[in-house]
Structure 1
Amino acid sequence: MFPAYSNPAILSVSSDLPTQPMKPRFIRRTILPFCFAIAWCLVLFSSNFDSKGSTALSMAYVHADDRPIATAIAQVPPAVPVRTETVQYATVNGKSVSGFLARPEAVTGPLPGIIAIHEWWGLNDNIRAIASRLAGEGYAVLAVDLYNGESAETPDGARALSSSVQDNPDSARDNLRQAYAYLEGSGSLTVGTVGWCFGGAWSLQTALMFPDRVDATVIYYGRLVTDADALVPLQMPILGLFGELDQGIPPSTVREFEAALQAAGKDAQIVIYENAGHAFANPSGTRYQREAAEDAWERTTTFFAEHLK
């Protein structure tokens, strides 16, 4: 049974409006929170609200005042020495796309491949570090770049970059198709996907693009598909990792996703961590929660070892 979930509280708004011209501090502390509260109500309660706008606002809400600092999980060195390089793996809209490739240093032959998809911050050093750590478990890990070489240092910057991808999903799909082809062309006989937050959503989308060719998919609290019919083509096992207190991907939505997977007859393991919020295991950010993140990492590596090796 999943833990209970409560909707986030609406921001309080003073009813005592000033009689003099509004000062910048009043606007910042009163008017702007009021406007955000109205927008958040639309996200939560309007069935007609555009899904792109809903996602952008919900991510802005859960990442308010966040920063892309390295978390503990991205600071653990790989289990074995790894070799890393920047590789051009795709051409999208006439522009070359470079990613970060990591693999165990001592292995020269083909390895199981993993497409690693960055958080909403972008392909930064923390994603490179977690890709290297994952490669140390015995994989060729390609950390892709869906932001055309950019990354964000603020929530506003991350929201703008992630929104640009939501507005142009076909370009992101083309990017990921070529990432899959790159690993397959490099000799990977099995390929898995993993992503965090923004990347968690695209991990699922990559699985839907290659429903009979991706061999294992891990989703860290990404936007979900809850239509059982849309999930029917999936043939790979799925591991979903979520937080009880996540206000962007709430347990109610996770329940719908799990029920849809069950209705479609899929092999899926869904985990919701008590007292964990959104981004609890991100390589970047201030929302890190050690116990849940470490358990999720162990589940991830065990899952990939079982289904990719």
Structure 2
Amino acid sequence: MASLLLRSLASSAAGVGSRRLLPRLCPAVFSKFSIRSMASDSFQVVQIQRDDTTFNAYVAGKENAPGIVVLQEWWGVDFEVKNHALHIAQLNPGYRTLIPDLYRGKVGLDAAEAQHLMDGLDWQGAVKDIEASINWLKATGSSKVGVTGYCMGGALSIASGVLVPQVDAVVAFYGVPSSQLADPASAKAPIQAHFGELDNVVGFSDVTAAKALEEKLKSSGVPHEVYIYPGCAHAFMNASPEGIQRRKKMGMDDGDSASVDLAWSRFATWMGKYLHSP
């Protein structure tokens, strides 16, 4: 993937000086990807109100089980985040998952579109979407609610652990928020985070960023775990056939099922401890 990077993180939107979450990638390298949605009957589509806006959310899993808000990558609500949400819902002893549509129905079919959508994201508004999603889950039967996310969603999940008091636990995958959006040193919720050793998104999800996050979490005083997986690059949890194909087109040929299984095991232990315990 390194050969595709045109530059590292830079200042971006949200009105808070948040950095662009991924470097710009050369659009010519990518072809359009056919995004295959999960079966529509796998999810209940609900509408959630916050402030003066309404957004769709996709809900799956056991009614009245602990809830987990699942946050998208820069692509939007595509096949892979739905795969993750369904997998989480089926973990023992069971969860109710909710994917808020942060892009309001838009999905990036190539890297240039995904970059454009992410650049236009209102990051503070996204945090409000997460808070509204947590409140919806708690109001409809989930006594405790965690937040997880991937890449862009990973950074937002950590931000929610800082900014949203209703969060009971966080698991973040390869993403750290800018300090202007949320300083992990001020985290209030328990946070577990996962990174790939070969991730080269500098300042956002590389090893240096992971270690800096760990130091900030130490100073916060919250329970925390930070894991770095040898031989893994960015987005290593995207292990579906479509996800693997897309990663290979992006120059990431590092598939490691053992690391994916280990990360899921750690995820299940962490969420089980904080969401299923009294």
Above 0.5 in TM-score?
yes
Please give the alpha-carbon distance, in whole angstroms, between the structure 2 residues aligned to 1:136 and 1:122. 22
> Could you tell me how far apart the structure 1 residues matched to 2:33 and 2:82 are?
13
1:272-287 equivalent positions in 2, closer than 5 A: 272-282=228-238, 284=243, 285-286=246-247, 287=252
Which residue does 1:79 correspond to in 2? none
Do the aligned partners of residues 192 and 171 (structure 1) sit closer, same or farther apart at CA in structure 2, a change above 3 Å counting? same
On the 8 A contact 1:68/1:121 being kept in 2, the answer is no
Question: How much does 1:281 deviate?
Answer: 0.7
Q: Contact (CA 8 Å) 2:217, 2:224: kept in 1 or not?
A: yes
For 1:161, give the aligned amino acid: L
Aligned residues: 251
How far residue 279 of structure 1 moved from its aligned partner, in angstroms, is 0.6
The normalised TM-score by structure 2 is 0.79
Higher Cα radius of gyration: 1
Q: Within 5 Å, give how 1:125-136 maps onto structure 2.
A: 125-136=79-90
Tell me, yes or no, if the aligned pair for 1:226 and 1:256 is still in contact at 8 Å: no
Partner of 1:98: 56
Query: Unaligned 5+ residue runs, structure 1?
Result: 1-7, 12-32, 76-81
Identify the residue that residue 218 of structure 1 maps to in structure 2: 171
Distance in 2 separating the partners of 1:66 and 1:278 = 19
Partner of 2:47: 88
1:55 to 1, 10, 20: 20
Q: Give the match for residue 191 of structure 2.
A: 238
Residues 95-244 of structure 1 mapped to structure 2, 5 A cutoff: 96-104=54-62, 108=63, 110-137=64-91, 138-165=94-121, 168-210=122-164, 212-224=165-177, 230-244=183-197
Question: C-alpha separation between the residues in 1 aligned to 2:207 and 2:90?
Answer: 32
Tell me the amino acid that sits aligned with residue 218 of structure 1. V
Classify the secondary structure of the residue corresponding to 1:152: coil
Kept in 1, the 8 Å contact 2:171–2:192? The answer is: yes
The share of aligned pairs that are identical, in percent, is 26
SS at 2:161 equivalent: helix
Q: Is the 8 A contact 1:90 1:179 kept in 2?
A: no
When the two chains are superposed, the root-mean-square deviation of aligned CA atoms in Å is 3.1
**Secondary structure of 2:166's aligned partner:** coil
